[in-house]
Amino acid sequence: MWAFRRAAVPLRPHGSWLGLSRVISTKSDIISFSVGSRAGTCTLEYFISGRSSSSKEFYHSLSISIGKRFFLESCGYCSQPDARDVIVNDKMEDGLPELETCAMADKIGASNAEEVDKEELLPELEFVEDAEKGVSSEKESATLELLNSFMGIPNVAVSDVLKKWAEDGNKLSKEQISRILVSLKKRQMYWKALQFHEWLGKSKQIDLTEQYYATCIDLISKAQTLEKAEKFVDNIPLSFKGELAYRTLLRSCVLALNMRKAEAVFNKMRELNLPIDVDVCNQMIILYKRLDKKKIADILLIMEKQDIKSSFLTYKLLIDTKGESNDIMTMERLVEAMKVDGFEPDINTLNVIAKHYISGGFKHKAETVFKEIKERKLERIVEARISLLLLYASLGRTDEVGKIWKDCESDPTMQECVAAIEAWGKLGKVEEAEAVFDLMLQKWERINSRQYASLLKVYTNNKLLAKGKDLVKQLVDTGCWIDPLTWDILVKFYIESENVEKADSILQKAAHTKRMRPRFTSFIAIMEQYAKRGDVHNTELLFKRMKEFGYSGRLKIFEILIQAYINAKKPAYGFRERMKAENIFPNRAFVKQLAQVDAFSREVVYRHERPFNIDTCISVQ
């Protein structure tokens, strides 16, 4: 076993986080995890095939100096953006409609068009009572009336509506409060949800418990910034600053993909001797899965040290991680270990496994998984159909996609329609995708922006920009609220239309006038376009705006920014100090990029300091 472990290069120490020291015991080959009363084990070699060893007992320490930060307050931008350039000219004469006219939200009704996807793999912490239970039709009507009364109003007017509601003698039950909060959060109206929640506390409609403060942390991080959520935690009364508050802050850091802050919170929880269970460890695995897969092994070692047992999600994350790395053999071993520990892969996990088989070129193995998904149809038929539509489209199996859609067509759900549009789009069958969209328009009185975005994505991928413009206009005319995911697709559509300035303009309006936090990928897509042009000025502006929205502490952003300087052939002064200020450490590829811009600096010095040569001043007659 140890020969197998030594076969690969051992993990490098992660000085940027841990100051980590560890010695592994040869007796300790098992990594364990936990979820409630369910127990499971997963050997470390299932996840990682190489590690240094010693005969000493296992030791693992995790420490970080929370107070020591390397921020350089005087460190400015290499190219200072002018304030007058912050808003890009939005009067573009390109025939594309202005999106700022879109309403923030529709009236809330009983339509199932109000479906919002859950955030990728991140289990939502529950801060409120179950909103779906025990709500009478009378209370349901009152709740909808209150929601609709402040859906279309400015954020600043929410407290006035609530005050009048109370003055009219109305009272809110726990069920109504829960329903309103859940509805606002589903629509990502975090500003209004925060104001509503704060009003509940100030008006003593609810008790100021640790749960109340945890909800505030969650909403502040989403409606404002992660930094403000951190400051809020600092000011929470000591009696309420416990496990739930820090777990919520950790989740907010993970959602923001801010590794430095997440690690600081994780260490603070350990310092305060707060419980570190499988849910906390899963959050860190989610973070590292996205940003630094090598660090996942560090969390597994902590789980081993503290005898934390595996959850279903732990296995699912590790399986997906190995699949993304195209380590199919290890992925399969993890699946077997999962089954041994009593966790049967669900349809979603089978979908993940099949996708990695397809991307790895193992089509026959993927087909075997397809059969297993089909056998699960009786359990969760809609979920199975959605998975199979997209998987068969990835294989180019038009016939199978047609068969599955025929099964759905008589009475499809909204999710099945969206999956069918995406599947037909992957296959280049635009007319079939349009037919499904038309079916949705006929079946439901109102559909939301996500459904429009699914067809817009098909038009974008198939270079049908004229049709895309017409669909955007149709979306604007409906007055649908546009969520961050839809804005992301719109941004990429405008980029594909070779109108980066328009994409930048609408994203700024979405962010500043709609009180919405755009997706990381939306900023990156625009930033990359400016960098390709060598437009240092606008790339720096995007960099600044991303920091304002909490997207800092990531090497990816600096990689794009330095590329802008390289393409512009300009020196980037103080770049290393800027990275150090955010605790970012370059990899090998980035060091080469830094060397390129350093060369530009030397050229500037040479031009200004080379010796005077009179011959260069004499013109040959």
Residues 504 and 589 reside in one and the same domain: yes
From the list 515, 511, 453, 468, the residue with the least C-alpha distance to 116 is 453
Which residue would you say has higher pLDDT here, 223 or 398?
398
- How far, in Å, CA of 434 to CA of 407, rounded? 18
Instruction: Confirm if 496 and 465 have CB atoms less than 8 A apart.
Output: yes
pLDDT over 80 at 44, yes or no:
no
Do 499 and 92 meet the contact criterion of CB atoms below 8 Å apart? yes
The one-letter amino acid code at 149 reads: S
Residue 577 CA to residue 71 CA, distance in Å, equals: 9
The total of other beta-carbon atoms located within 10 Å of residue 401's CB is 25
Sequence-distant (6+) residues with CB within 8 A of 48 are 8, 11, 297, 300
Indicate the DSSP class of residue 67: S
pLDDT band at 349 (very low <50, low <70, confident <90, very high): very high
Q: Are residues 332 and 426 in the same domain?
A: no
Classify residue 164 by burial, with Cβ atoms within 10 Å: 0-12, 13-18, 19+.
exposed
pLDDT for residue 152: 63
Q: How far is Cα 207 from Cα 3, in angstroms, rounded to an integer?
A: 59
Is pLDDT of 149 > 60? yes
- The dihedral through the CA atoms of 496, 499, 504, 505 has a sign that is negative
Evaluate if residue 177 carries a pLDDT over 80.
yes
Whether the predicted pLDDT of 288 surpasses 50: yes
Is-contact 379 348, C-beta < 8 A?
no
Q: Are 544 and 525 in contact (CB under 8 A)?
A: no
Q: Looking at the DSSP assignment, which residues form a beta bridge with residue 30?
A: 43
Which of 42-51, 258-267, 590-599 is predicted least confidently? 42-51
pLDDT over 90 percentage in the chain: 39
Q: Which spans in 341-380 are helix H?
A: 347-359, 363-375
Element (H, E) at 459: helix 449-461
Nearest to 546 by CA among 563, 561, 533: 561
The H or E element that residue 601 is part of is: helix 588-609
Determine the pLDDT at residue 517.
75
* Domain span at 359: 310-380
**In terms of Cα–Cα distance, which of 386, 392, 328, 390 is closest to 361?**
328
Q: What is the mean pLDDT of residues 163-188?
A: 79
Residues 509 and 578 in one domain: yes
Q: Are 228 and 256 in contact (CB under 8 A)?
A: no
Q: Residue 507: name the closest of 555, 545, 556, 550 by CA.
A: 545
Burial per residue of 183-203, b for 16 or more beta-carbon CB atoms within 10 angstroms, e otherwise = bbbbbbbbbbbbbbbbbbbee
- Residue 222 · residue 186 · CB < 8 Å: no
> Would residue 206 count as lying in a domain?
no
- 3-state SS record for 43-63: EHHHHCCCCCCCCCCCEEECC
Quote the number of domains for the chain.
3
Across all residues in the chain, what is the average pLDDT?
76
What size, in residues, is the chain?
Answer: 621
Averaged pLDDT for residues 237-244: 92
* Distance between start and end Cα atoms, the chain: 82
Eight-state DSSP code of residue 41: E
Rounded to whole angstroms, the Cα distance separating 590 from 561 reads 11
Given this model, what pLDDT does residue 359 score?
92
Query: Using CA atoms, how far apart are residues 333 and 318, in angstroms rounded to an integer?
Result: 11
Cβ(411)–Cβ(439) below 8 Å: no
Question: How many Å apart are CA 154 and CA 187, to the nearest integer?
Answer: 15
Directed axis angle between helix 278-291 and helix 312-324, to 10°?
10
Question: For 236-251, what is the mean pLDDT?
Answer: 93
pLDDT for 184 beyond 90 = no
What's the maximum distance between 2 C-alpha atoms anywhere in the chain? 99
For residue 284, pLDDT over 90 is answered with: yes
pLDDT tens string 467-520: 998 998 888 888 777 778 888 888 888 898 888 999 998 888 877 755 567 888
Query: Which pLDDT value is given to residue 516?
Result: 67
Where is pLDDT greater, at 225 or 528?
A: 528
Residue 18 has pLDDT above 80, yes or no: no
More confident residue, 107 or 568: 568
Residue 171: how many other CB atoms lie within 10 Å: 9
Residue 138 has what pLDDT? 57
pLDDT mean over 421-445? 94
Residues 6+ apart with CB under 8 A from 100: 90, 506, 509, 513
pLDDT over 70 percentage in the chain? 71
Mean pLDDT of the region 325-349: 93
pLDDT at residue 191 above 60?
Answer: yes
Task: Please tell me the predicted confidence (pLDDT) of residue 390.
Answer: 94
Enumerate residues 6+ apart whose C-beta is below 8 A from 554: 257, 258, 259, 291, 584
CA distance 203 to 184: 20
* Residue 21 per-residue DSSP state: E
Q: Which of 453, 481, 509 is the last residue of a domain?
A: 481
Cβ atoms 479, 471 nearer than 8 A: no
The rounded distance, in Å, linking the Cα atoms of 487 and 180 is 24
pLDDT of 93 > 60? The answer is no
Q: Which two tokens stand for residue 315?
A: 């296995």
Same structural domain for residues 354 and 405?
Answer: no
Residues 592 and 549 in one domain: yes
Other C-beta atoms lying within 10 Å of the C-beta of residue 521 = 14
Q: Please indicate whether residue 68 or residue 356 has the higher confidence score (pLDDT).
A: 356
Question: pLDDT at position 4, please?
Answer: 26
Evaluate whether residue 444 is within a structural domain: yes
CB neighbours of residue 207 within 10 Å: 9
One domain for residues 508 and 441: no
At 488, which helix (H) or strand (E)?
A: helix 484-496
pLDDT for residue 431: 96
CA distances for 152 relative to 105, 126, 311, 321, 330, angstroms: 6, 27, 42, 42, 51
Instruction: For residues 515 and 540, state if they share a domain.
Output: yes
Q: Are 187 and 482 in contact (CB under 8 A)?
A: no
- Integer Cα distance of 389 and 429 in angstroms: 13
In a domain, 455, yes or no: yes
pLDDT at 6 over 50: no
Better pLDDT: 421 or 376: 421
158: in domain: no
- Per-residue model confidence as pLDDT tens digits over 525-564: 999 999 999 999 999 999 998 888 878 778 889 999 999 9
Q: Could you tell me the two tokens for 424?
A: 């037909």
Encoding tokens for residue 23?
């010695």
Residues 409 and 472 in one domain: yes
Between 317 and 171, residue with greater pLDDT: 317
Is 461 part of any domain?
A: yes
| CA 440 from centre of chain | 28
Q: At what angle do helices 449-461 and 430-443 cross, to 10 degrees?
A: 170
Give the integer Cα–Cα distance in Å for 348 and 456: 25
In a domain? residue 407: yes
Look at residue 394 and tell me whether its pLDDT is greater than 90: yes
What is the average pLDDT across 311-318?
94
Residue 189 has pLDDT above 90, yes or no: no
pLDDT band at 87 (very low <50, low <70, confident <90, very high): very low
* Domain-embedded: residue 476: yes
408 and 357 in a single domain? The answer is: no
Q: Are residues 476 and 533 in the same domain?
A: no
Q: What is the mean pLDDT of residues 418-434?
A: 95
Q: Provide the strand spans (E) within 127-238.
A: none
Flag whether pLDDT at 401 surpasses 90: yes
pLDDT of residue 153: 63
Give a yes or no: residue 595 inside a domain.
yes
How far is it, in rounded angstroms, from Cα 160 to Cα 176?
19
Cβ distance 420 to 436 under 8 Å? yes
